[in-house]
A and B are shown apart, each in its own frame.
Chain A
């Protein structure tokens, strides 16, 4: 854990981040501080990167069952730049628009990254959610079939983005649950 060179963020950069993300000024500065504490010493914050393990071990993500998927979706080429972290915090903030949240939720839940949430993805989601070893095969298949029968509207045994969007638009609790506070302050 080293200290990056303590560069103050330029005012123009702060303004631009505020315009392009859903975060407030305080939140951006808090994330900047957290980022500086974690990145390797001697590097400018705009060029420094964090590994996926470092981001996974942030207190906000440490116990999340989907932390590896979150890190996969928001990182580029396996590492997080400062702007990637900001983008992640922006999507998970309270003020983010629903379409953005639904889009990223779809990408997170698509484990095999084929553009659809198919049965394999659903089974992996369920296993992550329940985290128990006493899940029988029949129960898993039953559950998967029920989810597909409820949400799969064109009967191709997988959820496309539109079907997922439709299902999530029906549950307002989704917007309230798909939130993470990244800043410690």
Chain B
């Protein structure tokens, strides 16, 4: 029978055999992934003694080898081949240098990472679910920092060099309304010149039109790809096949949040876990309870009613916003009350605050079988509300404001977006400081049964997505908007953090943070960002720029700046390749190739997840088969035992045999566990790339 040590040595020999053909970098990675002590790993990496069997008194040195010798042998064999391709060596050194720089860059980024300590404290007290909101906020902040830096370098600084003097008055109200003094600053589209900036006789010229459109395009393209890759990464890591396995209680038992380090938080978590486990168990018991036909009918009709009411409220709000905006436009043409422009943002923010509360009251009427469905339905309703509001505002801007014949309609849109964003920010701050504070007072002093409120992650993340959508739409009309969003996100982080520490308790239900974050990033990409792209596409291709202001004044469409640039390039012989790319690859329907590419990439990633689903199913079958094999072998062993009992009637021999075979059975079982690990380590010894 194999002893434990012997099996261990065989495992190590197999591991070493698999490590020999690897490059040294892969070797270190494979050794690092081994669940062994530091000393064993060190021995493996240096290539010294593998194991010393202590109980034999003398050291058994196994396979003393040196990786250097191995590598030398390998390189000798491949040296002749490599002599012919010296570019392979070049590639190797380039890739090594790239890897080293990537490592040092990531170390530097980690050390200057923003808010590292604060996030650790939040994670320790409230767990990973609340932490995911703050991580999302930090991630959005990176987008805005990047957009601001690009905008600042390429369009704002050049504009400063040819800035005209600002003759307007500055009063305090302008900080809120964005009109007046700010109209003639770099803040808005209307201030930018359409000329080619040229200083002195140096000859270097800077075409502001092209700079403007290319800078905005570069910002949005980078955001697009960054979002796409983040989304694909989240899909790949977190995609679960929900309908085959439930796995609910197993997850609760084995996924204890080890990051929580506060004693009170741990006690609270234990209490909440207990409640949740009991709820889950009762849910499972009730799954089999069938409802009568009448009950099903009533339930169905309440669902339909609730959806009709919520959709109706959404449509009513959108209509209200549209007519208010139109009326506001008319009103402002005749009267000149500077504060009146704040009415529309105020109403929109009130709707965003009040209607979700109204929706959450539906749960008093609707009854869902699983409380999880309730959360999802509420989320969908809120998303529909926000999307509709942004959509109707975009329609109003592109249809009414742009075609109204106003003097500088792009600046007007920019001002509208600025006011919306600012009002939304003010409302969020007020909600953090006043609203949550009041809720805590009510929960602690007045109606003590409510207790401290819980941080509503979904609502807060939707707020962030809404604000970011507005920023992306507004970046064309108000290039300084990323700066404002940066400042607002910064302040919001601290406000939410303080409010969290003062007013909230850790969440009671396990929140499935990674699934929800995948969903939110998908939301950020799909309706939000693609909606922004559509809006901007309509602006650039279909709308007429205003005649007196901005970098595109006088052109029939915004896109004509690119057409005329291509035309001038086609006269110069050195740049014909650019014209070729434009005419043949981008073509006359520019959207089509990009959408095609997105579809292809999505399809590829979908295939990856499908492949993993198949893998999971195969492994499942393999485990079941192994179980059957085990049962079969045990039964056979028992049969053999019985046959031997009948063949040898002597009791002493019988006893000894029984004891031996029982030992064999036990060792067999232990062997099976060791064998499984042996097999697994062999599989891991040849790591998948």
Contact = CB atoms under 8 A, between A and B. Distances in A.
29 contacts: A20-B31, A21-B38, A66-B256, A76-B37, A84-B38, A100-B35, A115-B670, A116-B673, A125-B254, A130-B273, A131-B270, A132-B270, A143-B249, A154-B628, A161-B673, A161-B676, A161-B680, A162-B680, A171-B250, A172-B240, A173-B255, A173-B512, A173-B513, A176-B513, A177-B255, A177-B257, A177-B259, A178-B258, A179-B258
A161 B238 CA distance: 22
B245 interface: yes
Interface stretch (B39-47, B171-179, B215-223): B39-47
A86 B36 CA distance: 12
Contact of B627 (A155, A172, A181): A155
Given A84-B37, A130-B273, A150-B246, A25 B107 contact: yes
Query: Sorted from nearest, which 4 A-B pairs have the closest CB atoms?
Result: A154-B627, A83-B38, A115-B673, A172-B514
B254 A65 contact: no
A172 B623 contact: no
Contacts of A170: 240-241, 245, 247, 251, 616
Contacts of B257: 177
Interface stretch (B51-59, B91-99, B261-269, B367-375): B261-269
Nearest to B271: A132
Given A99-B33, A155-B627, A177-B259, A167 B677 contact: no
A60 interface: yes
A125 B270 CA distance: 12
B274 to A, nearest CB: 5
A7 to B, nearest CB: 18
- Decide if the interface of chain B is mainly helix, strand, loop or mixed: helix
Contacts of A169: 616
A97 to B, nearest CB: 5
Contact of B624 (A25, A153, A173, A180): A153
Given A131-B267, A171-B254, 14 more contacts: A20-B28, A20-B38, A59-B261, A60-B261, A65-B266, A83-B37, A129-B273, A130-B274, A139-B278, A151-B250, A166-B620, A168-B254, A170-B616, A171-B247
A137 interface: no
B38 A86 contact: yes
For chain A, give the interface size range: 35 or more
B253 interface: yes
Dominant secondary structure of chain A at its interface with chain B: helix
A30 B673 CA distance: 38
Interface in A132-185: 132, 139, 142-143, 146-147, 150-151, 153-156, 160-164, 166-174, 176-181
A75 to B, nearest CB: 11
Contacts of A167: 247, 250-251, 254
B266 A122 contact: no
Contacts of A19: 28, 32, 45
Given A150-B245, A154-B630, A161-B677, A166 B616 contact: yes
A158 B677 CA distance: 16
A80 to B, nearest CB: 12
Contacts of A139: 278, 281
B111 interface: yes
A64 B258 contact: yes
A3 interface: no
Contact of A147 (B39, B249, B627): B249
B249 A177 contact: no
B38 A176 contact: no
A166 B623 contact: yes
B37 A154 contact: no
Contact of B514 (A103, A126, A130, A173): A173
Interface string A47-80: 0000000000001101111100000000010000
Contacts of A112: none
Contact of B249 (A26, A150, A154): A150
A19 B278 CA distance: 45
Nearest to B131: A176
Contacts of A161: 673, 676-677, 680
Interface in A86-119: 86-87, 92, 97, 99-100, 103-105, 109, 115-116
Nearest to A163: B623
B284 interface: yes
B616 A97 contact: no
Contacts of A109: 254
Interface in B495-551: 510, 512-515
Contacts of B616: 166, 169-170
Given A154-B626, A176-B128, A132 B274 contact: yes
A142 B253 CA distance: 13
A175 to B, nearest CB: 8
B578 interface: no
A22 interface: yes
B277 interface: yes
A129 B277 CA distance: 11
Given A19-B28, A104-B35, A132-B274, A122 B253 contact: yes
Contacts of A173: 128, 251, 255, 510, 512-514
Interface in B10-39: 28, 31-33, 35, 37-39
Contacts of B406: none
A83 B39 contact: yes
A22 B110 contact: no
B454 interface: no
Given A173-B514, A176-B128, A150 B247 contact: yes
In this complex, which of B245, B274, B510, B513 has the most chain A Cβ atoms within 10 angstroms of its Cβ?
B274
Interface in B650-689: 670, 673-674, 676-677, 680, 684
B670 to A, nearest CB: 7
B456 interface: no
B273 A153 contact: no
A102 to B, nearest CB: 10
A52 to B, nearest CB: 16
Nearest to A109: B254
A168 B32 CA distance: 21
B260 to A, nearest CB: 8
Nearest to B674: A115
Interface in B93-123: 107, 110-111, 120
B270 A103 contact: no
Contacts of B514: 172-173, 176
Nearest to A117: B254
Nearest to A107: B35
Contacts of B513: 173, 176
Contacts of B249: 143, 146-147, 150
A120 B65 CA distance: 45
B619 interface: yes
Nearest to A126: B253
Residue of B41, B256, B257, B623 with highest tally of chain A CB at under 10 A: B256
B249 to A, nearest CB: 5
- Residue of B240, B259, B624, B673 ringed by the most chain A CB atoms within 10 A: B259
B326 interface: no
Interface string B267-293: 100110110011001001000000000
B623 A179 contact: no
Interface in A11-67: 16-17, 19-22, 24-26, 59-60, 62-66
Contacts of A154: 623-624, 626-628, 630
Nearest to A86: B38
Contacts of B620: 153, 166
A178 to B, nearest CB: 6
A153 B627 contact: yes
Contact of B261 (A63, A99, A176): A63
Given A153-B620, A166-B616, A129 B680 contact: no
